[in-house]
Structure 1
Amino acid sequence: MDINQYLDATYLKTAKQANISEDQTKQKVIDLVNEAIENNFKLAMIRPEYVSMANQMVKNAASTLLIGTVIGFHEGTYSTAEKLEEAQKAIDDNADELDFVVNYTAFKEGKINLVKAEVFKCTKLVLEANKTAKWIIEIAALTNDEIVGLTQLIRAVVLDNFGEENASKVFVKSSTGFFVTEEGKPNGATFEAMELIVENAKPLPAKAAGGVRNYEDAVKMVNLGVTRIGTSSAKEIADGGNAKEAY
């Protein structure tokens, strides 16, 4: 299987998180985008402040690489107004895909209408701009029942308000890669969780983020019905090696 077009090459650490300088962080983003262009990956997923720069790189290379960014990252507890403001800036900077962290904390607290309104308003903004939205549900923070419930909520909002004709433009995505788990439990995509997401999101596509460690795992995810794979080790996976990073 040619796995490259399933891969979203990812670098989302801030300079502080990586304990490096701002210049070093910018260089990591440049290197990631160049690598994604050279290897014909589907997308480069980067923080919002680098979207304009990355788009210029893609244009200069006459590449088909997509540029994606994150919204409400990584906690998801930003207000809907804040997420809409971030999203509009990313759209203005010509991001192709916007990955929102859903307010899964509110969902767990039973604030269902808040979550529905957030998914509706943010998805509407993205679709009207002819972009793609992905909703990160942070599976490591959820029980299996909550994974199913939140996935079904997103599916229902999209289909009820935007129709099946727009389903392919709204993903359900597993993880941020930044959630801190207890006792060494995985904080990224697992096969069990992705099966639940794929089954309950249809016809919305699913993205497995984090936890995919090698080419074999990537193929298995695709065979489960996953459409995209987010990883900070895209080249290693594409080359048949093992991921060098946790995400």
Structure 2
Amino acid sequence: MQKKVLKILDYTLLKPTASKEDIKTFCEETIEHGFKTVFVHPYYVSFANERLKDHGVKVGVPIGFSLGGATTKVKVAETLDAINNGATEIDMLINLGALKSKEFDVVKYDIEEVVKASNGLTTKVIIETALLTEEEKITACKIIVEAGADFVKTATGFNGGGATIEDVKLLRSVVGENLGVKAAGGVRNFQDAVNMIEAGATRIGTSGAIAIISGKKSEETY
């Protein structure tokens, strides 16, 4: 199970105060522990990619982070710029305001345009489960499937809550077996990770990846 967990961990460093020295250490840790994918802010994509590209590590980037309220045009531009700098996975935040306003065509278009800009790269859509009703979670999942994204992702970990077993089970039940489910936010130890996998997660995003594979507990929440 440990090898399976390691394979699907997305190691993240998304603190707003992270320095280049922090990112350099983060990349060294990634290589040392054998993580397959990392996520850093757009500003650090090129920097991280230069250090990881010869080690078979994918560099992912959050888009519309961490509130989701940017316009579609801005999210598309951010996506294209990130790809140009070496990003190979895209995690976009859903337009929560539009979802809450029941402007479902807007939500779908927003995702479709980022998926199109990603041009075949793995695209995940963050829905912030802690901020949604069950009905909104179900609706969001259905829109994500229709819009052609590859994953639904629980949370950023920055907006009041993260992944729960119940939410992962719900998302999996809605999207079926052909879409990925990424559990992120509050996955702090190995057992948490195992629980998420058993609930239906096929990817786990965490800043506590080292603690998870070493059997320790991380205090990080994202």
TM superposition score category, shorter chain reference:
over 0.9
Q: Does structure 1 residue 83 correspond to structure 2 residue 85?
A: no
Deviations 1:150-171 (A, max 9, x none): 011111222xxxxxxxx6xx11
In structure 1, distance between residues paired with 2:147 and 2:12: 28
Match for 1:172: what amino acid? V
In the alignment, which of 13, 16, 19 is matched to residue 14 of structure 1? 16
Contact 2:186 2:220 in 1 (8 A): no
Deviation at 1:244, TM superposition (A): 2.6
Deviations 1:155-211 (A, max 9, x none): 1222xxxxxxxx6xx1110111111x3xxxxx1101111111112122110100111
Deviation at 1:245, TM superposition (A): 1.1
SS in 2 for 1:70: strand
Deviation at 1:34, TM superposition (A): 1.4
Q: Does structure 1 residue 235 correspond to structure 2 residue 210?
A: yes
Q: Which runs of 5+ in 2 are unaligned?
A: none
Contact 1:4 1:238 in 2 (8 A): yes
Deviations 1:185-240 (A, max 9, x none): xx110111111111212211010011112101101111222111111110000111
Q: Which runs of 5+ in 1 are unaligned?
A: 16-23, 159-166, 182-186
Q: What's the counterpart of residue 164 of structure 2?
A: 190
Q: Does structure 1 residue 70 correspond to structure 2 residue 72?
A: no
Q: What's the counterpart of residue 96 of structure 1?
A: 88
Contact 1:32 1:44 in 2 (8 A): no
Match for 1:188: what amino acid? G
Contact 1:10 1:44 in 2 (8 A): yes
In structure 2, distance between residues paired with 1:100 and 1:157: 13
**Runs of 4 or more above 2 Å deviation:** none
Compute the RMSD of aligned alpha carbons.
1.3
SS in 1 for 2:179: coil
Aligned residues: 219
Q: What's the counterpart of residue 211 of structure 1?
A: 186
Match for 2:84: what amino acid? D
Deviation at 1:33, TM superposition (A): 1.7
TM-score for the superposition, normalised by structure 1: 0.85
Q: What's the counterpart of residue 142 of structure 1?
A: 132
In the alignment, which of 25, 34, 40 is matched to residue 28 of structure 2? 34
TM-score for the superposition, normalised by structure 2: 0.95
In the alignment, which of 151, 167, 171 is matched to residue 151 of structure 2? 171
Give identity over the alignment, percent.
Answer: 39
* Matches for 1:122-137 after TM superposition, within 5 Å: 122-126=114-118, 128=119, 130-137=120-127
In structure 2, distance between residues paired with 1:150 and 1:121: 16
In structure 1, distance between residues paired with 2:24 and 2:112: 33
In structure 2, distance between residues paired with 1:106 and 1:131: 25
Q: What's the counterpart of residue 21 of structure 1?
A: none
Contact 1:236 1:244 in 2 (8 A): no
Q: Does structure 1 residue 111 correspond to structure 2 residue 103?
A: yes
